Structure 1
């Protein structure tokens, strides 16, 4: 049994596909697939998608970055407001990682208390679900219009805010166009036995979680992972249980860059990054245990697998935030003891810095 785990990993899929390609070329009776064309289409679509995500993030940061910083700095009036602030900030920036990295900077600078940052982190996870809903809408056919409009705004306007909006719109168009290219590229795999056998193996939740975490670590974007999953589900390559497992794995993979952002910062900033990791790991573990219930809910919400995955993504993050929010202050106290200030072993005598008003 143990020997079957490796071929079903992401690397195992590549090996299987290469073997399947050679087998088909040798006349083995498999469906004919132009593997070079497929690989070029997949890589091209993925590059367009990731570049679009980068452009979108850049445009949104330029258009709303300072306002988001000010918004985050004032999210200290209770856990519910902090949660909503995280949702709004992540929706505006289209990246929970960017939101949390900004948050870590504010905590490190003493502009926000560590305990007040935890609800914002919970809200940022909810904010990431907006992009998955957009991907599931299937509006990629309008991508060229968005790209042209964004390019014209950048080229013709003399106002910086309008140019930033054009960059963001161009990014949205590139993201959707990249998804369209990806969808066309993987279409020949729908009936390929090698791929179908691999996907059956990935129906084991643990393998799906590992694949989702690894892919997200590789491309540094949980939104991109969800986009690829939704595209593959739309082509019938991924069934709901596999898509949910990869979705859960993406929640863990997205923690890497926020942990890196805590290196060399204050203990309060480190605790914020550790909380993000612990919250995602615990909620994913619970999600794996309850994955059948999550799948049942997803099937209830829609008849299409891409929409089911997007809706499950929303439900998972909403429930996780609702469960942990009432205990955020207690969790903050436990983390303060687990990660004490330098020179204060065990956390004795620690004090939370008083947040300074954001400028």
Structure 2
């Protein structure tokens, strides 16, 4: 019982250290992770490189493939781009096994000491220092957990029955493969499975011939994370998850039948006496060789998956549903935040459509456009609720100061965009009032509304562009244009009062006109709120 408890304790430290190191690396790289993925083109080789680098940073191939499922679900990434990232993720996940296969007790002790010192002297004004401390502390805890696991399984080497059972796996590779699959499925981490495997091997309990099938099974088991994450997604996202499984299954079959002996010979030649290094090198070679062999056939893997999950044209697009938000991404905050920006900009475009419909309703006395305005405003309201809910969940994650500032920025921006849509709805209601009272704006009033609307639309669209590009100069231009809107509003009010005095305009339509001016001016105000936040952001 004590062996099991110590093993669980060591595994817990191992997983915590891996997660802590991954979080520190994520915070250090920040938005660069998202930019790296956005650099993807149809070039599958670039996808492999990005997948390997990103997985090396976040310390989890499962997290990377879940991320890919989310991107495909949002339409950000095609299946042909996804296959490259998935292949690269398998390479990136070998980093952890390589690290823990070395005897790095001195280095890990030094990393722990330096990490704790940096953490203690780090502050809010020095977030990078704290991020580095998390990387070092996580690295040290990872090795401490590994040592715990090695010590926990050491007594098992004296139990003959247990030794015989593990030795028997070498002659039953099918069972060994299933054991590796089951272990990774339960732990939801192929790195943790590899850690346990290396711990057993280091105590002389696991021969290389038995470890290899378990290693292959680990790779298949790592697919369960993305398969589970694809539940409830669109067909393309499900295809991405199945693509991961297909790639690993084909690779496993290839190695079990053809390449098992060659890989054994290579790793034994590289490290004749160190079984831990042999297993880590086998893991790395398996994934690299698998990518090299199957990369030229990546298009065919996509076609296989398309056959397995055919497109029957039965999926409907709901405009009220978010396109870029995915709770799976919350585990990678910098990526999640980038997706929130995309969804916020999408919401902004929907609010602009609401404004366009409301103005058209005014110009043409159109009942159809009044209804369109109400329908589109409801879509904006739904998107706002979902964005706020997602931002609340994101704010509860481990964020550095810059990410916290960006979350606050988006909270306020989402609300400003929703208010733009509200003012557009108000204008549609004013159009309804004109229809109900059989009233019309004068030609001069319509021309003035069209003129100020054009300026307000420019203010609004530029504010969103400034947010998208984080362009402070563009944001300052918005402030200048908003002052022009204020001047127009005052001038047009004055002109309207003259028309009223000369009886050129009816009282009822005159009140509607003034309300229209107020709503348009308020839209410009909310636009400048967005621009001001861009200017004051760090």
Corresponding residue for residue 196 of structure 2: 228
> Following TM superposition, by how much is the alpha carbon of 1:77 offset from its aligned partner in structure 2, in angstroms?
4.5
CA offsets 1:31-64 (integer angstroms, 9 cap, x no match)? xxxxx44333222212211221222232223322
CA offsets 1:242-294 (integer angstroms, 9 cap, x no match)? 11121111101111111122122222211111100111112112222232232
Corresponding residue for residue 40 of structure 1: 5
Corresponding residue for residue 245 of structure 2: 277
Corresponding residue for residue 331 of structure 1: 301
Corresponding residue for residue 253 of structure 1: 221
- 2:29 equivalent to 1:64: yes
Once the two structures are overlaid, the 10-residue window that deviates more, 146-155 or 96-105, is 146-155
Distance in 2 separating the partners of 1:45 and 1:196: 21
Q: Any unmatched runs of 5+ in structure 1?
A: 1-35, 346-355
Normalising by structure 2, we get a TM-score of 0.55
Distance in 2 separating the partners of 1:65 and 1:233: 37
Once the two structures are overlaid, the 10-residue window that deviates more, 160-169 or 172-181, is 160-169
> Following TM superposition, by how much is the alpha carbon of 1:231 offset from its aligned partner in structure 2, in angstroms?
1.8
Distance in 1 separating the partners of 2:4 and 2:301: 46
> Following TM superposition, by how much is the alpha carbon of 1:107 offset from its aligned partner in structure 2, in angstroms?
1.8
Total equivalences in the alignment: 314
Question: What secondary structure is seen at the aligned counterpart in 2 of 1:137?
Answer: coil
Q: CA RMSD in A?
A: 2.2
Question: What secondary structure is seen at the aligned counterpart in 2 of 1:202?
Answer: helix
Corresponding residue for residue 161 of structure 1: 128
Distance in 1 separating the partners of 2:9 and 2:110: 20
> Following TM superposition, by how much is the alpha carbon of 1:137 offset from its aligned partner in structure 2, in angstroms?
1.4
- 2:267 equivalent to 1:298: yes
Distance in 2 separating the partners of 1:342 and 1:63: 44
- 2:153 equivalent to 1:183: no
Corresponding residue for residue 90 of structure 1: 55
* Aligned structure 1 segments of 4 or more residues deviating by more than 3 angstroms: none
Distance in 1 separating the partners of 2:128 and 2:312: 43
CA offsets 1:280-330 (integer angstroms, 9 cap, x no match)? 112112222232232122212211111111111111111111111112123
CA offsets 1:67-91 (integer angstroms, 9 cap, x no match)? 2122112211511111111111111
| Higher RCO (CA 8 Å, separation ≥ 6 residues) | 1
CA offsets 1:139-190 (integer angstroms, 9 cap, x no match)? 1343233223333333321233332332222111111001111112222222
Residue 236 of structure 2, aligned match among 256, 268, 271? 268
Cα distance change, pair 141–219 in 1 and its aligned pair in 2 (3 A): farther
Distance in 1 separating the partners of 2:304 and 2:48: 20
> Following TM superposition, by how much is the alpha carbon of 1:65 offset from its aligned partner in structure 2, in angstroms?
4.7
Q: Any unmatched runs of 5+ in structure 2?
A: 316-338, 343-467, 469-538
Cα distance change, pair 260–165 in 1 and its aligned pair in 2 (3 A): farther
1:72 and 1:103 in contact (8 A); partners too: no
Distance in 2 separating the partners of 1:114 and 1:284: 22
- 2:272 equivalent to 1:307: no
